[in-house]
């Protein structure tokens, strides 16, 4: 068994910067609301928290298929489960919202034979993505409201293969759209530019040149080492300058990410805040540990555990009060989710998942059971093969 064409989540540097900025206060609000037992607000905050802090986990739900099978499309259906005469019966269609911690694609996904996502059909919008001969995304066309009017994103790259421009154009005025699960106003259709700098023996002054840059809006400035690894980035947001620095080990794995925000202060020294990620790879790489610090103070950690075949079998997201645990089978399919308050030693959610498979060994139905072992939801996965 292998993973199916991955459910790719494409992020721009701006998306990652927003994610990093929201992480600390979302987590703190979540824990505060939980302690006050304001459950309705808590569910809303939990949904936001999950979207921003568990992106890595979201990307792999339902993503296991035989490698020999060439997947053309994937579609998911969600139903509330009803029990009749002690038998499980598929009930009414259901949307898994309201803080439900296990997310699936809500659109139909189409892949090419290189396992790249080329089309996405949502109820309100259809998207098509195009790649060049070296598998670089070169164009994405969005059709908001399913009509003929469209928004086009054109991508260009430099000679090192790194993004250089993203140009955006709408065929009609004032077209709002969705992208990567977020909704945007037409005012967000602003071109993005990337100025890339490269360390080399032929250009020893490139570090000084990069450090001297004063960022301007809509530009991202990136510094790469001689291995084409990103080691520093700069952006301007309003009056605030954000710098992100990356460090790698000898195996080219990230070991540290430092984000520095500097905001002018008319009364004196600028305001400076930092967010730090520290990565460790233990037990011969079978354990990936990530610790997060806000202005030098620890606030959250993640652990990703793999089996000897390199398949993720457990993911833990733990704050000072709350802990999320995801457990997977040997094929990488999610089989249990646990949400608990570690200070109170209380489990709030314990969801188990059971699958049925087609003749190719790919799962086609999944039933979710709550902590009382009562069936709650049925997920159907429709797989089309080449």
Is residue 78 within 8 Å of 96, Cβ to Cβ? yes
Residue 199, SS3 per DSSP: coil
Average pLDDT over every residue of 84-111: 83
Is residue 342 within 8 Å of 325, Cβ to Cβ? no
pTM, entire model? 0.79
Average pLDDT over every residue of 121-134: 89
> DSSP of 260-318, one letter per residue?
EEEEEETTEEEEEEEEEEEEEEETTTTEEEEEEEETTEEEEEEEEEE-TTS-EEEEEEE
Q: Which secondary structure element, helix H or strand E, spans residue 138, and what is its range?
A: strand 137-144
Query: What pLDDT sits at residue 87?
Result: 83
Query: What pLDDT sits at residue 97?
Result: 64
What is the pairing mode between strands 163-170 and 177-179?
unpaired
Would you give the DSSP letter of residue 321?
S
Q: Where do the H-state alpha helices sit in the chain?
A: 13-36, 39-53, 55-58, 206-211
Question: What residues pair up with 140 in beta bridges, in sequence order?
Answer: 129, 153
47: pLDDT strictly greater than 90: no
Question: What residues pair up with 312 in beta bridges, in sequence order?
Answer: 306
Average pLDDT over every residue of 274-289: 96
What is the pairing mode between strands 219-224 and 192-198?
parallel
Would you give the DSSP letter of residue 249?
-
Per residue, the 3-state secondary structure of 86-137, as one string, reads: CEEEEEEECCCCCCCCCCCCCCEEEECCCCCEEEEECCCEEEEEEECCCCCE
pLDDT band at 23 (very low <50, low <70, confident <90, very high): very low
Distance separating alpha carbons of residues 219 and 222, to the nearest angstrom: 10
Distance separating alpha carbons of residues 5 and 115, to the nearest angstrom: 5
368: pLDDT strictly greater than 90: yes
Longest dimension (CA), the chain: 77
Q: How much of the chain, in percent, has pLDDT values that exceed 70?
A: 82
Among 75, 79, 26, smallest CA distance to 322 is for 26
Q: Please tell me the number of Cα atoms within 13 Å of 46 on its side-chain side.
A: 24
Between residues 78 and 29, the one the model is more confident about: 78
Q: Where are the domains of the chain?
A: 2-385
Is residue 35 within 8 Å of 321, Cβ to Cβ? yes
202-227 tens-digit pLDDT: 888 999 999 999 999 999 999 999 99
Between residues 216 and 22, the one the model is more confident about: 216
Among 284, 283, 288, 320, smallest CA distance to 302 is for 288
Query: What pLDDT sits at residue 356?
Result: 96
Between residues 202 and 195, the one the model is more confident about: 195
Is residue 234 within 8 Å of 195, Cβ to Cβ? no
pLDDT band at 142 (very low <50, low <70, confident <90, very high): very high
Mean pLDDT of all residues belonging to the chain: 84
2: pLDDT strictly greater than 70: no
> What token pair was written down for 280?
């460790």
pLDDT band at 96 (very low <50, low <70, confident <90, very high): confident
pLDDT band at 233 (very low <50, low <70, confident <90, very high): very high
């Amino acid at each position: 068994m292998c993973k199916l064409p991955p459910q790719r989540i494409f992020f721009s540097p701006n998306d990652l910067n927003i994610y990093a900025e929201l992480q600390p206060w979302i987590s703190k609000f979540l824990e505060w609301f939980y302690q006050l037992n304001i459950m309705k607000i808590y569910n809303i905050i939990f949904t936001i928290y999950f979207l921003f802090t568990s992106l890595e986990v979201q990307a792999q739900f339902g993503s296991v298929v035989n490698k020999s099978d060439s997947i053309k499309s994937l579609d998911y259906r969600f139903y509330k489960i009803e029990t009749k005469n002690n038998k499980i019966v598929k009930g009414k269609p259901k949307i898994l919202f309201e803080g439900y911690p296990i997310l699936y694609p809500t659109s139909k996904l189409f892949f090419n034979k290189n396992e790249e996502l080329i089309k996405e059909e949502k109820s309100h919008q259809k998207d098509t993505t195009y790649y060049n001969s070296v598998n670089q995304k070169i164009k994405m066309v969005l059709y908001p409201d399913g009509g003929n009017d469209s928004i086009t994103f054109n991508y260009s790259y430099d000679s090192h293969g790194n993004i250089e421009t993203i140009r955006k154009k709408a065929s009609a005025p004032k077209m709002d759209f969705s992208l990567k699960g977020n909704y945007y106003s037409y005012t967000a259709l602003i071109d993005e530019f990337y100025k890339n700098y490269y360390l080399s023996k032929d250009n020893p002054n490139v570090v000084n040149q990069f450090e001297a840059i004063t960022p301007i809006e809509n530009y991202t400035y990136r510094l790469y080492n001689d291995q084409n690894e990103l080691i520093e980035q700069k952006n301007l947001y309003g009056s605030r300058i954000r710098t992100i620095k990356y460090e790698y080990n000898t195996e080219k794995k990230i070991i540290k990410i430092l984000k520095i925000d500097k905001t002018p202060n008319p009364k004196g020294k600028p305001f400076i805040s930092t967010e730090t990620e520290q990565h460790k790879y233990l037990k011969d790489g079978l354990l990936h540990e990530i610790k997060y610090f806000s202005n030098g103070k620890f606030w959250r950690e993640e652990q990703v555990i793999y089996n000897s075949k390199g398949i993720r079998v457990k993911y833990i997201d733990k704050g000072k009060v709350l802990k999320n645990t995801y457990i997977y089978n040997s094929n990488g399919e999610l089989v249990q989710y646990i949400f608990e308050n570690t200070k109170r030693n209380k489990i709030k959610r314990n969801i188990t998942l059971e699958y049925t498979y087609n003749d190719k060994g790919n799962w086609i139905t999944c039933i979710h059971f709550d902590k009382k072992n009562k069936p709650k939801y049925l997920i159907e996965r429709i797989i089309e093969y080449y």
